[in-house]
Amino acid sequence: MKILILGAGQVGGTLAENLANEANDITVIDSDGARLRELQDRLDIRTVQGKASYPSVLRQAGAADADMLIAVTSSDETNMVACQIASIMFKTPTKISRVRAGAYLARNELFGENGFPIDVMISPEHLVTRHITRLIEYPGALQVLEFSKGLARLVAIRATEGGPLVGHELSYLRTHMPRIDTRVAAIFRKDRPIMPQGDTVIEDGDEVFFIAGTNHIRSVMSELHPLVKNYKRIFICGGGNIGQRLAQTLENRYQVKLLERDHERCVMLSENLRKTVVLEGNAANKDILLEENIENTDVFCAVTNDDEANIMASLLAKRLGARKVFTLINNPDYVDLIQGGDIDVAISPQQTTIGSLLTHVRRGDVVNVHSLRRGAAEAIEAIAHGDHRSSKVVGRRLDEIPLPEGTTIGAIVRHNEVLIAHDHLRVQPDDHVILFLVDKSRVRDVEKLFQVGLTFF
């Protein structure tokens, strides 16, 4: 595919890296020449320096024959106008735009047939909020990903001594929980992937990815980790777009406090939030945290737009007794450094956003993509089409499908029913097949499996 990426920031750069590795024709537009040179030194891509919404710059970048335009500059206005120009002047088939401001997102009439011609809108704040909300709903999880409108979920959890399955073979899970069907899709031990077999022994500290129907998730989690009490008290540090949205999402179910240093923002938040206690002050101030009983806090979420401030506030909160700390980290180089120590979960907005973008770039009928382990692994939901003659998967038993190395099928969703993957299961037309890839370089091979041959037409 020929893809134009507008914006070479964290999201644009990460996206270019993901797509360039998959043999797409990528052009990145940005006004920062130094940033473009840095990307070009690392990746096999074209770059164009200039303002991303100018018609002349888009033409120079090859908009006239581009298959897709992905606008992820830091300016909503630039992104929206670029999509409008690509539609009017270049008839670009697919236009994806990042829109962050709630003032735009609240007005549905701005988009669609009579508004800005944006086919897919991405709101990082919305995606990050959903990501954090799911972590709060499932205490102890490192990542919770939804498939088939929430019918199935893939959960990452750190196996901890005291969990009934830790120290046992995976086959023990079926004996111990005969009524619950689940599949361990992958295990990462000391950052190395292990393809799970029945005789694989779960060790303390393993990062385990399992898939199950949503109603069985908590039961499986309790096998790998001593049961964690449900969270009640949430403390949010940072009242920006993410902090505000998170408080609005959580305040009806949890006791929420929000700390913001800017006075005017505090006034606005206190007027717009119904049940959240809004506090003015700096999270690096130990006295404020102690005054607000940080030691009784179940989850401390640091979501300001300053990585260093988030890290320092999180470390302080943990030291003062917060049970769990979630920290928003924009710089991907920091994520691996800090997660798993005093900071329980490091949240990368880029990785959360990339999955949504990749869903629209994948070949074959792919309806969900989730980027895992900082982009090294991937979970995909693909729909099987065709029949036994035109498809490499339809009509075949799971053990007959030639899966690329490092790929497992975790589950199939058929007519709103979750079927956990077992060798004897046959794929039927229109099945939603959920796959896990520990090696992302195999994505193209998986896509080919789900592309229908000519006999289908």
pLDDT digits (tens, 9 = 90+) for 222-266: 888 887 889 999 999 999 989 999 999 999 999 999 999 999 999
Side by side, the strands of the sheet bearing 345-347 are: 277-280, 255-260, 233-237, 299-302, 324-328, 345-347
Residue 456 has pLDDT above 50, yes or no: no
Helix axes 33-42, 10-20, angle to 10 degrees: 30
Q: What b/e string do you get for 358-377 counting C-beta neighbours within 10 Å, with b at 16 or more?
A: bbebbebbbebbbbbbbbeb
pLDDT tens for 113-144 read 788 999 888 888 889 999 999 999 999 898 89
98 pLDDT band, cuts 50/70/90, is: very high
Residue 457 has pLDDT above 60, yes or no: no
pLDDT tens for 153-196 read 999 999 998 888 899 998 888 888 888 889 998 899 988 888 88
pLDDT tens for 262-302 read 999 999 999 999 999 999 999 888 999 999 999 999 999 99
Q: How far apart are CA 98 and CA 76, in angstroms?
A: 7
In the chain, pLDDT over 90 holds for what percent of residues? 59
Residues 379 and 442: beta-carbon distance below 8 Å: no
Rounded average pLDDT over 60-68:
94
The angle subtended at Cα 214 by Cα 209 and Cα 218, nearest 5°, is 70
pTM: 0.87
Q: What confidence score (pLDDT) does residue 438 get?
A: 87
Q: What confidence score (pLDDT) does residue 101 get?
A: 82
Q: How far apart are CA 73 and CA 93, in angstroms?
A: 20
How does the average pLDDT of the chain come out, rounded? 89
Q: What b/e string do you get for 56-80 counting C-beta neighbours within 10 Å, with b at 16 or more?
A: ebbeebbbeebebbbbbbebbebbb
pLDDT tens for 385-415 read 888 888 889 999 999 999 998 899 999 999 9
Q: For residue 388, report the phi and psi dihedrals to the nearest 5 degrees.
A: -65, -20
Residue 454 has pLDDT above 50, yes or no: no
pLDDT tens for 334-363 read 776 776 678 889 998 888 888 888 887 776
Q: What confidence score (pLDDT) does residue 340 get?
A: 62
Residue 198 has pLDDT above 90, yes or no: no
In the chain, pLDDT over 70 holds for what percent of residues? 97
Residue 453 has pLDDT above 80, yes or no: no
Q: What confidence score (pLDDT) does residue 59 get?
A: 96
